[in-house]
Structure 1
């Protein structure tokens, strides 16, 4: 039967302006509302017979529904655009259902399904090449869309991955293509389709990354003149010539070290493994592309395996068999068994090989020295170094200035200059400068120092862009425990306190206190220790600063006590090296990926040993290859040769062993895994000493006395007093063998271990950062590379195994911000295993950290997460950290009481990025209390009006990537 054409005038049907429809063939045609009316009328005829075509009720209903659909698209795209035919048919179904015509809607659905099956049977879904759809090339030319190549790319991307559907990606992507789409537009359509499926199946993150590879290959290969584009399979042959062309081009551009051309590029090219490109998650690969690959005129001409080989070559420059060592280093990096720190990844093999992560300085108490230190900050920051400044020697506010017969303005005005310098010299234009100022707790300016990050008060005495940290002596903590007074001094009158620690500090400090009582010292202030401690914790909660770090364990357990004093840590609180006016401490970082070393549910000691030995060699090589912006840094690094080998993927390693973070088993694994890393790292450094020679200041060190990190705990106990420390000292390895070896061979490095945050390099490797618990099980991660859906693949795997992974579970996890705890369907054992950071009591974080600390000659970046935070909780947690012998702590992630409860308001802000402190609350009253309960509860259960749960993005929004 011939249907009457609807009268547009009578039915008042108008088409949206400039709206076009993408047909299944890829053709793009004008939007025609009458075709919607015809389709709906056919559906009515199929149910009610031919009379439906002339029924006034049906004609009116069809006209209204057609106009409603057209208006909806007009509102959605007021300036025109393209819509796929399937989207229009979806709206027709919806309109019929809303009109109450369920039978007609069902007939329409069956009609669509029948025709879809017919098209599939006839092979009309995908044609090679597309008959009408063309792609616009970079030069403006056009060619038919190659559906065969799209199929190849997608099927390659899905190869060997479970629960992914390449056909679905192809079909859904074609709906978003139109005639004249750009080459990049095709790639974006494929990636966007795969990205949307990540929350349903974590393996789609690998699919998306592999589709992104097509963009990378096209950009780099065409720039290098190797090929216009290439599939994954073709890279088996193309990687080698691309690598060789890359080296030549990079040297010509004066970006790569000309020494790279002296390597056997044939041999190194043969060693490149193109299959390792498949190991990246989407977040990891996009991070590399945006922030690490070498580029020229905004064109990235470096590919992933080429980058790893470039880094490996740069670190092997001084090796005897450079090619063999470069391949050994490449294997370690490209397998993700170990990853170098960001500065090394940035600069190894380049003309400016600034590979070190951290620089620590001591600022002297004279104007020339102060501004020289600020100048050094600028030079070090220019080349992407993270800075830790010790400001304790600088005289306090009100101190006498002999040269001018005046009084000092104290430390704070200079810190304002440091803050502004960090902003001005923003790490070579790549990221904002990053510096942390340290001040000892006895300094007379400490109370004002605590308030530097406040958003209120005199802005001339605020530093909103820099970090601050307390350098806390043991004596202060004892006074807090014992509820005694504490005296603040100016270093101008008590200069020797700066270099004293342990029992010697306590004796001299008490002598100065006696001098205040006899009138010999005039400039001082006496406070109640608990009140100052309360203010320290209050500011830490309110502003996120100053961090709390402990002077005495850093010094009493330092292998280099004979060569100087540790006056501060670095930007991320894991480096504890000596500093002085003549020496700027330098540390070179890298991290072992623990997750890669768990095999069949247990830690693979043999593999770990191989990884650690190669990693220590790579780190030691950095010292001789490194570019030093200031001479004091070179002097220190060459003399002492410290390195900092750390770990990452700790949480993944727990998952692989079916261990919950909040458990004795996790604490035991932290102990045993760090013992093995320490055991192999110390032995590797000693073996390097046999091969290359001992570090210059070895004699007199704890190493030379046969005192290893585990042994140095005894000295801390003796100096602090047994009453104030409790540390497990159990061991499983043959440490006597290591002591004998060191006595015979010495050590190549003064310090060997430090656990850095690894926020960025763990993204590259696709594992949890550092020693952190999982932040959320499902969230959107926002960083400089964009937004990425991240889902806990281990949780998904376990839920699938129990038949619990479905759309309802996905929506529940979204609703509960990635928490498994409120979801009744999830069994208790999985709730324990997948407890997130704020659901793990902070005592477990501290206990695990204490077990690691006994094996580490430096420190660890330890973030603390506290839910339902109160003054009492903060007091207990930080006292416990000191009591368990920790050297430092890092960020406090505090979740106020109201943030703990579920809010259904403003769901769009769930993963908002903020540069503010994670939480804010009113500062507590400093009123004295006679009760020995430590800090008063300064939260009443209600956070400040601006309080929110810190998002997953905040965790790596730390400014500097030097340690990461």
Structure 2
């Protein structure tokens, strides 16, 4: 059975397939999928039926779970969640206990997020020693060094998210902590903000800096613009920090009785409570297209509904068969039973339907498609709740009195490696380029060319070797003569699409996503800092939960790049300097 491409097989052999003690691969890709299907079916009374159903779903490349599930299902460690948030207390003992726990999570392939806002500021009192505190930044560097020492179960480099709230006295040091490109390579960083901060930015007001040790104003009041301008300037320079709108995040918190969320997983798409984990999976949208029909009629809605329900059951079962590293994580995770079903292949779907990414028709499709998926996912979760019982914390939730099985059901993840396995575009991103190079796996290069564009060019009669060479150098159709205008619009790449349209697409998806959306807002190299500022304000007004921007050419070390040396500065998938895929 040939399921995966040759490049995908290389990834599978390096990251996912079982090896013997000498490092020799002893499992086939089909065997990997059967292993994951068997394990996911264990909680079912009719295990044989669901094992076959889950295998058929994955082998058809219509759905794939997150990487730790494919890699670890049925193995002794058996840890299959991708997303974790751990608390960082204001004590040496607590900080290093969290660091140890993060290392053990990374070993299994999970990614970790932390809020460092509880750590007392630099030069504050340390009464036990009579000394002064170092502040959160040196501890973040220590976490980064610890991550360097752990390779994630042979799968990938460890990934973290560090969050610091805007009111922390060390916020400016935090914002500029990644000013040099090759530091903190295992961390993405984000600033936590609320509506009050954003109001003060708009109205040119002041904010208090608060010492988290005392809960009191630190004796300093500074203009909100000082923090906001530093954020936008740093993001313009190198793509970080990102921004997290915690009022929006917690307004959508489905279990408010369990407390507020203060951090997310490394790519920002999964806000979680302390000690909470979540397993994700993605539907491959291009796999639900029929050959016959036009427009939306090409989408096989009945199959999409059936597979959405099966994917929800798969992810819910993983919560029960997962092997939890710590009892606290098991307790919180099973208490809320959050899952995150998302999509990949959105750009390829638009191309197949002849819809430009930057268009009202694309937004209408998002409303219809993601609304449909969430509706069917919620129906499936409610049916599971009636069959197996609701999540234990339901009385603390917005679903009090109902029979919903999962506190959340939808998430949009970056799907960096999963989309490669499925042979489709990543997450909800537009095409990075029509031809580009992706570097993964310790320098291994994959040369990617859009099959959809090649088919369209051959059909239109303008495919040629000269065109292939031009695409290899530029990645887009910009400046290339002889291309029909309708083709240019449909095949517009990430940096040809305006930031405003990137934001509109993210906002349209967020309306139908319980958790959050992993998405990069791309800017051309010539964008001004004021353009970044406008995007942040627009994201807040749209009600987004977070934002990651990237200005073309602002980093030299990229995962994705074009072939020519003068075009090697590209963008990372889903706005990550480090992404668990």
Same fold (TM over 0.5): yes
Q: Report the alpha carbon displacement of residue 781 of structure 1 after superposing the two structures with TM.
A: 3.0
SS for the counterpart of 2:394 is: coil
**Contact residue 344 and residue 356 of structure 1 kept, 8 A:** yes
1:196-242: per-residue Cα shift (whole Å, max 9, x none)? Answer: xxxxxxxxxxxxxxxxxxxxxxxxxxxxxxxxxxxxxxxxxxxxxxx
Within the alignment, does 1:804 sit opposite 2:468 as a pair? no
Which whole-Å CA distance do the structure 2 matches of 1:333 and 1:801 have between them? 31
Q: Determine the structure 2 residue equivalent to 1:824.
A: 481
**Contact residue 895 and residue 949 of structure 1 kept, 8 A:** no
Q: Are residues 324 and 824 of structure 1, via their aligned partners in 2, closer, same or farther at CA, if it must alter by over 3 Å?
A: same
SS for the counterpart of 2:416 is: coil
Matches within 5 A, 1:707-856: 745-784=402-441, 786-815=444-473, 817-856=474-513
Which whole-Å CA distance do the structure 2 matches of 1:683 and 1:947 have between them? 51
Which whole-Å CA distance do the structure 1 matches of 2:536 and 2:427 have between them? 20
Within the alignment, does 1:557 sit opposite 2:252 as a pair? yes
**Contact residue 338 and residue 406 of structure 2 kept, 8 A:** yes
SS for the counterpart of 1:589 is: strand
Q: Determine the structure 1 residue equivalent to 2:47.
A: 322
Q: Determine the structure 2 residue equivalent to 1:375.
A: 100
1:895-931: per-residue Cα shift (whole Å, max 9, x none)? Answer: 25xx9xxxxxxxxxxxx9825999xxxxxxxxxxxxx
Which whole-Å CA distance do the structure 1 matches of 2:384 and 2:560 have between them? 44
**Contact residue 777 and residue 819 of structure 1 kept, 8 A:** yes
Which whole-Å CA distance do the structure 2 matches of 1:777 and 1:747 have between them? 43
SS for the counterpart of 2:157 is: coil
Alignment equivalent of 1:666, drawn from 325, 348, 362: 362
1:288-325: per-residue Cα shift (whole Å, max 9, x none)? Answer: 23322112223222222222111101111222111111
Q: Determine the structure 2 residue equivalent to 1:878.
A: 536
Within the alignment, does 1:285 sit opposite 2:9 as a pair? yes
Within the alignment, does 1:483 sit opposite 2:186 as a pair? no
Q: Report the alpha carbon displacement of residue 407 of structure 1 after superposing the two structures with TM.
A: 3.1
SS for the counterpart of 2:547 is: coil
Q: Are residues 894 and 487 of structure 1, via their aligned partners in 2, closer, same or farther at CA, if it must alter by over 3 Å?
A: same
Alignment equivalent of 1:598, drawn from 289, 299, 317: 289
Matches within 5 A, 1:119-518: 274=1, 277=2, 279-296=3-20, 297-455=22-180, 463-494=184-215
**Contact residue 650 and residue 770 of structure 1 kept, 8 A:** yes
1:259-305: per-residue Cα shift (whole Å, max 9, x none)? Answer: xxxxxxxxxxxxxxx2xx1x533322322233221122232222222
User: Bigger CA drift: 404-413 or 476-485?
Assistant: 404-413
Greater fraction of residues in strand: 2
Q: Report the alpha carbon displacement of residue 949 of structure 1 after superposing the two structures with TM.
A: 5.0
1:497-528: per-residue Cα shift (whole Å, max 9, x none)? Answer: xxxxxxxxxxxxxxx6xxxxxxxx5x232222
Which whole-Å CA distance do the structure 1 matches of 2:308 and 2:155 have between them? 31
SS for the counterpart of 1:397 is: coil
Q: Report the alpha carbon displacement of residue 826 of structure 1 after superposing the two structures with TM.
A: 0.1
Q: Are residues 553 and 403 of structure 1, via their aligned partners in 2, closer, same or farther at CA, if it must alter by over 3 Å?
A: same
Q: Are residues 629 and 960 of structure 1, via their aligned partners in 2, closer, same or farther at CA, if it must alter by over 3 Å?
A: farther
Q: Where do 5+ consecutive residues of structure 2 fail to align?
A: none
SS for the counterpart of 2:86 is: strand
Which whole-Å CA distance do the structure 2 matches of 1:564 and 1:546 have between them? 25
Q: Are residues 392 and 956 of structure 1, via their aligned partners in 2, closer, same or farther at CA, if it must alter by over 3 Å?
A: closer
Alignment equivalent of 1:586, drawn from 264, 277, 294: 277
Which whole-Å CA distance do the structure 2 matches of 1:957 and 1:533 have between them? 19
Which whole-Å CA distance do the structure 1 matches of 2:219 and 2:143 have between them? 26
Which whole-Å CA distance do the structure 2 matches of 1:677 and 1:800 have between them? 34
Q: Report the alpha carbon displacement of residue 382 of structure 1 after superposing the two structures with TM.
A: 1.9
Q: Determine the structure 2 residue equivalent to 1:103.
A: none
Which whole-Å CA distance do the structure 2 matches of 1:657 and 1:916 have between them? 29
SS for the counterpart of 2:213 is: coil
User: Bigger CA drift: 785-794 or 602-611?
Assistant: 785-794
Q: Report the alpha carbon displacement of residue 698 of structure 1 after superposing the two structures with TM.
A: 0.2
- Using the size of structure 2 for normalisation, the TM-score is 0.93
* Alignment root-mean-square deviation, CA: 2.3
Which whole-Å CA distance do the structure 2 matches of 1:545 and 1:678 have between them? 31
Greater RCO, 1 or 2 (C-alpha within 8 Å, sep 6+): 2
Q: Determine the structure 2 residue equivalent to 1:110.
A: none
SS for the counterpart of 2:263 is: coil
**Contact residue 893 and residue 950 of structure 1 kept, 8 A:** no
- Using the size of structure 1 for normalisation, the TM-score is 0.57
Q: Report the alpha carbon displacement of residue 429 of structure 1 after superposing the two structures with TM.
A: 4.9
SS for the counterpart of 1:377 is: helix
Which whole-Å CA distance do the structure 1 matches of 2:399 and 2:575 have between them? 37
Greater fraction of residues in helix: 1
Within the alignment, does 1:632 sit opposite 2:275 as a pair? no
1:766-821: per-residue Cα shift (whole Å, max 9, x none)? Answer: 00000010011122333228333322122122222221112232233234x12112
Q: Are residues 467 and 306 of structure 1, via their aligned partners in 2, closer, same or farther at CA, if it must alter by over 3 Å?
A: same
Which whole-Å CA distance do the structure 2 matches of 1:607 and 1:428 have between them? 35
Which whole-Å CA distance do the structure 2 matches of 1:835 and 1:777 have between them? 9
Which whole-Å CA distance do the structure 2 matches of 1:609 and 1:813 have between them? 38
Within the alignment, does 1:859 sit opposite 2:489 as a pair? no
Number of residue-to-residue matches in the alignment: 570
Alignment equivalent of 1:574, drawn from 262, 269, 286: 269
